[in-house]
Amino acid sequence: MNLLHYTLHLADNALIIGHRNSEWCGHGPILEQDIAISNIALDYIGQARNFYQYAAELTGNGATEDSLAYLRDAIDFKNCLLTEVPNGDWAQTTLRQFFFSAYQYFLYEQLQNSSNQQLAAIAEKALKEVTYHLRWSSEWVIRLGDGTEESKQRTLRAIDELWSFTGELFTPADYEQQAVTEGYGVDLSQIRENWYKKVTAVFEEATLPLPKENVWMQTGGKTGVHTEHLGFILADMQFLQRAYPGAEW
Amino acid sequence: MERDFEEIFQDKIDQEIKIEPKDWMPEKYRQTLIRQISQHAHSEIVGMLPEGNWITRAPNLRRKAILIAKVQDEAGHGLYLYSAAETLGITRDEMYAQLHSGKAKYSSIFNYPTLSWADIGAIGWLVDGAAIMNQVPLCRSSFGPYARAMVRVCKEESFHQRQGFEILLTLGKGTEAQKRMAQDAINRWWWPSIMMFGPTDDESPNTIQSMKWKIKRFTNDELRQKFVDVCAEQIKILGLTIPDKDLKWNESTGHYDFGKINWDEFWQVVQGNGPCNKQRLETRKKAWEEGAWVREAASAYAEKRKQKQVVTAA
């Protein structure tokens, strides 16, 4: 059960942030960047599928990647709150991507050594993608932080909006603690420092002030207590599967 | 002197030698190409919107991934095409300005709405199918950069068309509700798709010159007929119907006859009165305007970095 929850947590993270990024497709500020963010969305859908396929295997009873993505309600989704916050402007989207990619980078780096071969293999493959996501999003945070006065103000606003969602990344749910005990999960306390170092370095280059580390942080996503946004994401995403139960697409 | 240049130019074209950006070309050739290539690029970019409309609602993960990849391909096509047009002496920003002001057109087909998932299938099968019919000959366009861009575009388009057909095939084999959805989509997309080939030959004044310059290889009516012939066969595999009671095989011509096209609707949509003209253009303008601060920040940062490098180097 723990392994299943842990896998679903990884899958849901990828699906929800991928879904959010895909909302940009056709609406990006620069054509090349429209392609880049759609590409990142696509990478995420791929990662989500890999994790869901494994989760479906663990679930049995005819579960599939699609039944897991399309037929669970918000209470069963285990993604971090950060992944579901609305895109906002380009500053908010790229900063969300940076916070999350930095987390995923260190997470997958460890996870590729997991005692669970499936998880290790998925992480190893995904790490290549995440390395690019991290570089791309770091560059945007730097560019916008150190660009114009307006881009700086927008980035500061985005930091204000998103910072309180970063604590949850490193607050383990029971299934994550269990995963560490059983040897296939990543100890979040160990990657936290690297994450903070990376954020510090990028913010410094971006001439952005570093927010305080020990402020009140929002949590709940990992255990199914989400923001109001997730319900709408799922209403949108699951519409066809819910309206036409059992149909093949 | 001009006359000699023009003769050499036409001679090259007649011998199927590609015209390259630095070669001499008649001003009208340049203008025709800018108009055609930028219109094509705009169509790719505006064309992302009707399909993008279903990305967040795609029915399963596989379809979602394919759809994102497809819409992203269209952005890529827009990119090659804008680059090809830039070789003729116009910037991408100038082309965007023409799109946003309404001076430049894009394919009218994208002014129709996508109302159900089946529309994604119908767009792939019919709209991309018609686009391929139009575009394959463009791989032999006399203008080198355009011809080369089209080779890449066509490869991807044929994948798009297959995935559209496959969506419809799945729906056609599905539940009653799915069949209804698929038929409804074909009913709505069929006529606009065959209008994509443009006005009939006797109403298409530019065709003769474009064919002489080998920018165009077949007339609108020839391509339209080819498309109808292909679709009339493929629809049988789908188990659905084409909404034209006059569609039937004509033994003597060796082609399918088809019904009268509503050219009034065609011109109305071209002139801006289609169901989504305003919406599509507003969406593009909004993306552009809301992205202005991002582009400004990016160039300001690039400038700062350049300055720093100069200082470091000194």
SS (H, E, C) B177-232: HHHHHHHHHHHHHHHHHHHCCCCCHHHCCCHHHHHHCCCCCCCHHHHHHHHHHHHH
Instruction: Determine, yes or no, domain membership for A177.
Output: yes
Burial class (CB within 10 angstroms; exposed 0-12, middle 13-18, buried 19+) of B309:
exposed
Burial class (CB within 10 angstroms; exposed 0-12, middle 13-18, buried 19+) of B264:
exposed
Residue A142: how many other CB atoms lie within 10 Å:
21
Buried (b) or exposed (e) across B10-48, using 16+ Cβ within 10 A? Answer: eebbeeeebbeeeeebeeebbebbbebbbbbbbbbbbbb
Domain containing A142 equals: 2-243
Q: What is the pLDDT along chain A (249 residues), one digit of tens a residue?
A: 899 999 999 999 999 999 999 999 999 999 999 999 999 999 999 999 999 999 999 999 999 999 999 999 999 999 999 999 999 999 999 999 999 999 999 999 999 999 999 999 999 999 999 999 999 999 999 999 999 999 999 999 999 999 999 999 999 999 999 999 999 999 999 999 999 999 999 999 999 999 988 899 999 999 999 999 999 999 999 999 999 999 999
Q: Are B60 and A70 in contact (CB under 8 A)?
A: yes
pTM of the model: 0.96
Residue B237: how many other CB atoms lie within 10 Å:
11
B13-40 confidence digits (pLDDT tens):
999 999 999 999 999 999 999 999 999 9
| B55 Cα to chain A: minimum distance (Å) | 7
What is residue B1's predicted lDDT score, i.e. its pLDDT?
60
Give the whole-angstrom CA distance, residue A138 versus residue A150: 18
Interface of A with B in 57-86 (CB under 8 A): 65-66, 69-70
Instruction: Determine, yes or no, domain membership for A7.
Output: yes
Number of domains in chain A: 1
What's the DSSP call for residue A169? Answer: G
What's the angle, vertex CA B108, arms to CA B34 and CA B188, rounded to 5? 155
Interface of A with B in 183-212 (CB under 8 A): none
B-chain CB neighbours of A30 within 8 Å are 291, 294-295, 298
B258-300 confidence digits (pLDDT tens):
999 999 999 999 999 999 999 999 999 999 999 999 999 999 9
Q: Are A75 and A142 in contact (CB under 8 A)?
A: no
Q: Are A19 and B54 in contact (CB under 8 A)?
A: no
User: B311 falls in which pLDDT band (50, 70, 90)?
Assistant: confident
What's the DSSP call for residue B19? Answer: B
Q: Does A29 touch chain B (CB under 8 A)?
A: yes
| B137 Cα to chain A: minimum distance (Å) | 27
For B175, name the nearest residue in chain A, comparing CA atoms only: A247
Range B139-143, long-range pairs (CB < 8 A, 24+ positions): B140/B16, B140/B214, B140/B217, B141/B214, B141/B215, B142/B13, B142/B16, B142/B18, B142/B19, B142/B213, B142/B214, B142/B215, B143/B18, B143/B19, B143/B33, B143/B84, B143/B215
**A104: closest CA among A173, A48, A31?**
A48
User: B205 falls in which pLDDT band (50, 70, 90)?
Assistant: confident
Out of B79, B173, B297, closest to residue A31 by CB: B79
User: B206 falls in which pLDDT band (50, 70, 90)?
Assistant: confident
Contact A38/B72, CB-based, under 8 Å?
yes
Out of B48, B117, B293, closest to residue A240 by CB: B117
CA-atom Rg of chain B in angstroms: 22
**A237: closest CA among A18, A10, A11?**
A18
Instruction: Determine, yes or no, domain membership for A248.
Output: no
Q: Are A247 and B175 in contact (CB under 8 A)?
A: yes
Instruction: Determine, yes or no, domain membership for A249.
Output: no
Contact B72/A35, CB-based, under 8 Å?
yes
| B170 Cα to chain A: minimum distance (Å) | 6
Q: Are A246 and A98 in contact (CB under 8 A)?
A: no
B-chain CB neighbours of A31 within 8 Å are 45, 75, 78-79, 82, 92
Examine the pLDDT at B314 and tell me if it is beyond 80.
no
Give the whole-angstrom CA distance, residue B168 versus residue B49: 20
Instruction: Determine, yes or no, domain membership for A127.
Output: yes
Higher-scoring residue by pLDDT: A219, B211: A219
Beta strands in A57-160 (DSSP E): none
Q: CB neighbours of B213 closer than 8 A, spacing ≥ 6? A: B13, B29, B32, B142
What is residue B2's predicted lDDT score, i.e. its pLDDT?
66
Q: Compute the Cα dihedral for B264, B270, B276, B278 and give only its sign.
A: negative
Greatest Cα-to-Cα distance within chain A, rounded to the nearest angstrom: 56
C-alpha B156: how far from chain center: 13
Give the whole-angstrom CA distance, residue B146 versus residue B158: 18
Contact B301/A237, CB-based, under 8 Å?
no
Residue A21 belongs to a domain with what CATH number?
A: 1.20.1260.10
Residue A222: how many other CB atoms lie within 10 Å:
24
Give the whole-angstrom CA distance, residue B118 versus residue B194: 18
What's the angle, vertex CA A104, arms to CA A102 and CA A105, rounded to 5? 65
Give the whole-angstrom CA distance, residue A168 versus residue A239: 29
Residue B130: how many other CB atoms lie within 10 Å:
27
- pLDDT averaged over every residue in chain B: 95
Q: How far is CA B106 from CA A126, A226, B40, B198, B253, in A?
A: 38, 42, 7, 12, 33
Q: What is the DSSP string of B101-170?
A: HTSS---GGGGS---STHHHHHIIIIIHHHHHHHHGGGGG-SBHHHHHHHHHHHHHHHHHHHHHHHHHHH
Residue A138: both structure tokens together: 């770091």
